[in-house]
Structure formats: structure tokens, C-alpha cells
Structure 1
Amino acid sequence: MIKLKKLTSALVVCVALSVTATSVMAAVQPNMAKVEERKARKTQIVGERVGKTLVKAFDLYNEEKLDEALAVLLDAKSSNEFDTATLNRFLGNLYATKDEKQAIKYLTMAVKPDLLTFADQASSMKLLADMLLQDKQYQKAVKAYEDWIMFTGEQNSEVYMRIANAYYLMNQHDKVLAPADDAIRFATKQIEGPYQLKMAALYELKRYKDLIAVVETMVQLFPENKQFWVYLGNFYTLTEEYGKSLSTLQLAYSQGYLEKDSEIRMLAQMYANNSIPYKAASIMEKHIKSGLVKKDKANLTFVASNYLGAREFLKAAEYYGEVAKLTNEADAYRRQGSAYLSIQRYNDAIVAFDKALSMNVDKQSNVYMSLVDAYFYQKKYKEAYAALMNAKKDPAMARQVRSWESYIKDKAKQKGVSL
């Protein structure tokens, strides 16, 4: 299963969107009459002394003398509330480039009296919210963004996206969904960010059916995003819809969207889960040979066991041999011998079984019984009997040994073979 924690870094980046108006009910409902009153109120102008201070500070800022510009503004004083709010706004804007906490301090003082022009008040409130989010004061950021919506009357997709993002970062996953939906409905074009947030939140909430519905929509809206196909294929397994998982991954594979080792292994596993072992083995084999999938014990064993399940015994033997060469493990030789035995490649089976025994394979009596088969069907009764006697040392094999012992003796006697 893909780890959704990997998404976090991508999800915290807010998507910049254009503003659109709509009559759809949203999470925040501003009083538009009051918004119009604010827009219509009389515009004030700063006094001459403060105006000169602002021009001087602005010139210094343009000369990239930020500290000097801040010093000029910090030295300025005024008894006029509007002038003071304007000075604080400029201080907040400048501090936003270097010191979040100072920016928050001065922007808060700037917007509190609500004396700035409508445009300046709105931009300051928005910047304050951004600074709070950047400073990880997520709950305050949510409130600040909602205040901005109430003040401006704008149903802004970007702002709702940031509200949803703040809730996600606070692990309040149930609160992510409504603002994410608002970010979707107020966007001027379909965008991925809100859907990704919904996906991550629903995953954390373990609402898997809702999660799948969202990702199905994502695949339809953004079919070129290869990762969404992988997510959908993964998420179907959460509701045990393995057929749908396989269909999704097959389609993604046919379009060249599965490009990673993990993705190919996931597709192969879905073939196996859907009882299509030949495809499971062959697709893994193909990408091991291409170098995309790592040639290691787990992957080679997967190929071998699925070829075995598909009754492709020669291929299974080949890959158990690959496992044996890679790991030098006795059990791999035992499995290889069993695969050869299934297709009557008795000499090859004997070589593999002998190798397993030489390495002290577990349950040696089982291997000796397999050797009995391999020798007997070659009419090598003496060797078959010797292998049987070794198996007889295990009391658990007593019943099988009894059934074979008299049979081998009879056959050997018929052929004139001395045991």
C-alpha cells in the first residue's frame, strides 16, 4: 500500500486560482449588504508627515535597503488612527519578507481598527492569514481567512483551499472536506489540489468508499496524472474490490503509466490475487529482465511460485534455480527439484534434491521421499530403496515408507535387482 504520508509535502502547497462568484451555498456566508457599505465608505488620506515617511521607506525598499526602510517606519509616530494603521500595514508588508511573527504583529494592529481603504484592508487581512498559516498558527489562520471572506464578500477558491489545508495540517480531517468542496466549486477551472486534500482526509478517516468515489472522479478529470491511476488501483484493495483494482492497473499499464518497481509489483500482485498466476509471473519476469524490477529473492520467488501455480513447471524450476543461485538456500533447491519432478525431469530433480540435502534442508525426510519418486520412475530401484531407508529414520514417515517398501522390493525382485 502506498504510504499517504508521502503526499503531505505536496498537499501543503496551496494552489493559486482565479476568483469566481457563484450563488452556491458555501461554508462562509458574508453579508453582502455590509460588504457594499464598506466599499462605499469615504476614503481617507494619510497626513503629509506620514506620507513623506512612507515615500522615503518605499524608496529605500526599492533600493533593497529593507532594514533601513523598516527603521524609518518604526521611528514614525502619529496620533491619527488612520495614519497609524497605514504605518502598521506598511510595516507588516515589509516584515512579511523576513519575519513572520513581526509581520503578524503589525498586520494585526493594522486591520484591527478597520480604518484602511477597502482594498488595503482586504489585502492586509489576506496577508495576515497567509502569515499565520506560514507560521503554523493554523486555527488562527482559518479564522483570518474566514474574516477575509466575510469582509470582501469574495468566494475565493484559493482561500478555501488554504482553509482546507490548515485543517489537514491540524489533523482535523473531518473539517477538510467542506472547504475542499468549496475550493472545487469556486475554481474557474478544474484543479487537482482540493481533490488531493479530500483524498488524504478520507483516507485518514478510513471512509474508503467515499475515498474511492473521489479518486474515480480524479481519474476522470485528470487522466494524464499517472499517480491517480495508481492510487485508485491501490484503494480498491481497501474494499477488497480486487477485480476493479486489476482493471484499473491494467488500463494504467496499457497507457504506460506504471513506471516504478513498486507499481509493476502491485500490478503483478493483483493478477495473483485474481487467480491469474501466469500473467502475474510473466509481467514480473518481463520487468525483471528489463531492469525496472529488482532481481532479488522476493521477486524471483514470486515469479517462480506463480509459474508453479500456472503449472508452468519448467519455468518455475528455472526461477527457483535463480533463487537458489542468488541466496544459496536449501529450500530453493528443494522447490526446484519438486518442479522438475512434476514434469518428469527426474535427473534434474535428483541433482536439485541432492543439493538441498547437502545443505541440511529442513524436513529432510520429505526430500528423501521425493527422491524415492525420482529414482523409482527411472526404475533405479536400488537408489529408490536407499532414499526410502533415509526417509524411514523419521517416525512421521512410517506410513508412507511402509506403503513404498514392499512395492519397491517386489519391483526389484521382478527385475532381478539386489537391494
Structure 2
Amino acid sequence: MKSKTTLLSAVLMSVLGTALYAPASYAAEQCEIDTRKTRVVSERVGRKVQRAYELYAEDQVDAALGELLEIDPSGEFDKAYVSRMIGSLYAGKEGHAKTALKHLKIAVDIDQLGGTDHANTLRLLGDLNIAERNFNEALKYYEQWMKFSCQEDTNVYLRMASAKFELKKYPETLSLADKAIKLQTSPNKGPYSLKMAAYYESKQYPKAAKIAEDIARLFPQERRHWIQLAQMYMLAEDYKKSLYTMDIAYRKGYLESASEFKMLAQLYAQNEIPHRSALIQEEYLKSGLVDKDESTLSMLANTYHQAKEIDKAVDYYGQAAAINNSSRYYMRQAGLLMELEQFGAAKTAVRKAMDGEGLKDRGEAQMLLAQAHFYLGEYKAAHRAAIAASKDSGTAKTAKGWISYIKETADRKGVAL
């Protein structure tokens, strides 16, 4: 849709007789636009009108309006003609749309203008009402324009589709957008975007994705269309196509924002390619595009964990934990260190978790600490930690089993507890 300023500028051209549209035939029958006789204003009014035209040609719009507003037409045709001119000039003045609409409506309601003038005024009323967000009024005048002129126009259908969309009438939006597309002589993404938005708002995501495909195919050089297509595939839960599309965008250098890079990394992970996801995450973290905070570092650690690259997962969990002294991530780090049989480092991580912020399960931490001490041969410390863990209802049963096992092992090795 044109901007309000562009629309109002175009409106002024209608005063000078410039066509605003290149319509297609709407019906084979004889139309009212063709049966209207050409009429001229009275001599008295004509002199004022001529002077107004001259002033307008000299860019003296206010003076031209002054001439027209002084006219007190006696005949209905003269009144309609002058009202149309006044309305058209006001339409070109910022902030005077309501005044323009009032005068143009007078001209249309009198219903005596010549065929082309009456048709153009109907369409102008539609355009101005769209600009003023009077969508039902706009639709009414566009329908009158089509009926009166027996013409169709791709831009009129596009604006009608836009009005229906704003009114949340999505099936009618789709129908009108299709008509706009049918009349196009060259691709215009406006009606396609409206169709996609209508399907999106009505939660028909696979259909929205199909329209996004059309947009990317017709306008392949616009980077945002590829991102948009990938997003629609995600909504339609077609994650493979979403990843394929985002990967194309990445290779073409179309990704710019942090959210776009995060989306690509997420898609690699969803498609069970965690190593590639982790590399993308490292890329945008090292570039500074995305801040190294607890959330982004823990996500990277988790992704490396999924990729079974435990050393890197341990490193990034430690970095994530250090930012806010987070017990949660120290515990995850400790668990992975136990898997790597790095029991000394695991013991250190558990103690950091116990001294950190937000520890939810102290019994679990004591149990992990008991195991780390045990595998290091530190049976007294392991026994103390296991006893502490046995006092927590969540770990009591496991801890009691470990207490017995630690005692048996210590006795066998001659270590007094």
C-alpha cells in the first residue's frame, strides 16, 4: 500500500485529469461510466474554477482553495464539481484528510459528475478512507467504483484485501489478494505478503509457508524473505526445510542479527546436528554479536554435551557458572567431570556448587561429593559426605547404600573411619 503522503500526492493528479489506474475490464455489459454525459459548469463558476487551476499550477494551493471556497454554486452539477475540486486539493494537504472526505462525499452523493470524474472520485474516497483507517467505508467506495466503472484494478484489490485483513476477515483477504495477483503485469509482493499474514493469523502455518516460498522465489535477492520462509517452516514444524533455508541464508551472508544466528544454531540442534550447532554458537559468541552471558554459555555447553564433546561442555559449563556463581551449572560441570573420571576437579566443582547461588538439592551435591572423595581414596571425607547425604530425603536411600560400601572398602584397606 502506498504511504499516506504518496497517496495524497497522487490524488492531486486526478484534478488535472491524470489517470490513477490502468484497469482491466470488469463486465461486458454497458456500464454507467459510459452513459454519463459530459457536462460543463456554469460560466460564473467556470471563471472561478479556471482561476483556481491557474493558482494551483503556480503551487499556490491555499490561494486556489480560497477561490473555490468563495463559490456558492446554485446548480447541483456545479456544486458537485466544485466540491470534488475542493476535496481533491484538501487531500493533498497534510492533516486535512477529514475535510477532503467531507467534500468528496458531497460530490459523490449528488451523483451528477461525468463518468470519469465520478469514477475517480469514488476511488479517491476509497483511497483516503484506507489512509484514515476507515476500512468499511473504503470497501464500500471501492465496490461502488467497480460497479460504476465495470473495471478491476490490481491495486484496488490489494487495498481491499488490506482492509479485510485489518478487519480480521481472513478468508475474504485471501480471495481479494488472489484477484490482485491475477491482474498483476509484474510481480508485486504486496498481495503475497497479505496472503501469508492471513494464513499466519488464522494459524494455517503450512499454507503460510507455501506463500513464503512464492515470495522467496519471486524476490530471491531480498535477504529477509529467506529468514521469513525459515520462520514459517518452523511454525509449520518442518524443521528440516527450515534448517535448509536458514543454511542457504547463512551461506549467502544474509544473517545479520543475534536472533537469526541463534535460530540457525537452534535448528541444527533440533535436526540432531549438535556439533554444527555448537560451532555456529561459538562463531557468534567470539564475534561479539551475542553476549557471553549465563544463558548463551550454558546453551553452548549443553550443545557440546549433546555432541558428546564432554571436555568442551565442562569448560563452557564452568564459564556459565562463574558469571553468577551459579550452583546449577557447577553441578552439571561436576557431573560431567565424574564421567571423565577427573575426580579432583569434580570435587572442586561440587564444593563451588555448595558455596554458590541457587543450589536446589544439597543432598545430591553431598552424594556427588562422597563419590568423588571415594574414587580419590579419601574414605573418611567420603563417609562424612555420604552421612550428610543420608539426612536428605531425596538421597537417603542411595546414601545409606554408599555408607555401607565406603565402610566395607575402608575396612578392607585398613583405613579407620
Distance 2:23 2:137 in 1: 25
Farther-moved stretch of structure 1 (100-109 vs 179-188): 100-109
Q: CA deviation at 1:193?
A: 0.9
Alignment of 1:108-127 (within 5 A): 108-127=105-124
User: Does the 8 A contact of 1:208 with 1:238 survive in 2?
Assistant: yes
Query: Any conservation in 2 of the 1:307–1:315 contact (CA below 8 Å)?
Result: yes
Residue 340, structure 1, aligned to residue 337, structure 2:
yes
The CA deviation at 1:377 is 2.2
Matched, 1:67 2:62: yes
SS in 2 for 1:33: coil
For structure 1, which segment, 345-354 or 407-416, has the greater mean C-alpha deviation from structure 2 after superposition? 407-416
> Which of 156, 159, 162 is residue 159 of structure 2 equivalent to?
162
Match of 1:27 in 2: none
| Counterpart in the other structure of 1:404 | 402
Between the aligned partners of 2:334 and 2:21, the Cα distance in structure 1 is: 67
Alpha carbons of structure 1 residues 305 and 260: separation in structure 2 relative to 1, 3 Å = same
Shift of the 9–336 alpha-carbon distance from structure 1 to 2, 3 Å rule, reads farther
Choose which of 345, 350, 369 in structure 2 pairs with 1:371.
Answer: 369
SS of the aligned residue for 1:416 comes to coil
Structure 1: state its 5+ residue gaps.
1-7, 23-29
- How far the C-alpha of 1:141 sits from its partner, in A, is 0.6
How do 1:13-412 residues align onto structure 2 when only pairs under 5 Å count?
A: 19=22, 21=24, 30-35=26-31, 38-39=33-34, 42-98=37-93, 99-359=96-356, 361-412=359-410
| Secondary structure of 2:221 counterpart | coil
User: Whole-Å Cα distance in 2 between the matches of residues 232 and 403 of structure 1?
Assistant: 56
Q: Higher mean Cα deviation, 269-278 or 319-328?
A: 269-278
> Normalising to structure 2: TM-score of the pair?
0.87
Query: Structure 2: which amino acid aligns with 1:43?
Result: T
Shift of 1:367: 1.3
Query: What SS does the aligned partner of 1:292 have?
Result: coil
Q: Return the letter of the residue paired with 1:134.
A: A
SS state of the match for residue 176, structure 1? helix
For 2:363 and 2:118, how far apart are their aligned partners in 1? Answer: 86
Match of 2:14 in 1: none
Structure 1 segments of 4+ aligned residues over 6 angstroms from their partners: none
Are the counterparts in 2 of residues 88 and 107 from structure 1 also a CA contact under 8 Å?
yes
Contact 1:281 1:303 (C-alpha < 8 Å) held by counterparts: yes
Q: Could you list the per-position Cα deviations for residues 18-65 of structure 1 after superposition, in whole angstroms to 9, with x for gaps in the alignment?
A: 73647xxxxxxx444323x63465432323222210122223334444
Alpha-carbon deviation of 1:114? 4.0
Equivalent-residue separation in structure 2 for 1:19 and 1:350 (angstroms): 79
- Closer/same/farther in 2, CA of residues 34 and 294 from structure 1, 3 Å limit: farther
| Cα distance between partner residues in 1 of 2:87 and 2:250 | 51
How far has the Cα of 1:371 moved from its partner? 1.8
**Cα shift at 1:166:** 1.0
How many residues end up aligned between the 2 structures? 401
Q: Deviations over 1:213-247 (max 9, x none)?
A: 21222222222232222222222333332222222
Structure 2, unaligned runs of 5 or more: 11-19
Please identify, of 59-68 and 184-193, the stretch whose mean Cα deviation from structure 2 is larger: 59-68
Partners of 1:163 and 1:172 in 2: how far apart?
A: 11
- Is the Cα contact below 8 Å between 1:392 and 1:401 reproduced in 2? yes
Residue of structure 2 equivalent to 1:3: none
> Higher mean Cα deviation, 405-414 or 327-336?
405-414
Deviation of 1:352 (Å): 1.0
Which letter maps to 1:217? D
Q: Structure 1 residue 81: deviation in Å? A: 3.2
Q: Secondary structure at the match of 2:360?
A: coil
- Report if aligned partners of 1:333, 1:352 keep a CA contact under 8 Å in 2: yes
- Farther-moved stretch of structure 1 (399-408 vs 151-160): 399-408
Higher relative contact order at CA 8 Å, sep ≥6: structure 1 or structure 2? 1
- 1: CA distance between counterparts of 2:27 and 2:72? 35
Contact preservation (8 Å) 1:261, 1:294: no
Q: State the identity %.
A: 39
Give the drift of 1:118.
Answer: 3.3
Measured in 1, the distance between the counterparts of 2:143 and 2:208 equals 27
Q: C-alpha distance in 2, partners of 1:272/1:147? A: 55
| Native 8 Å contact 1:174 1:205 kept in 2 | no
In 2: Cα distance, 1:311 partner to 1:372 partner: 26
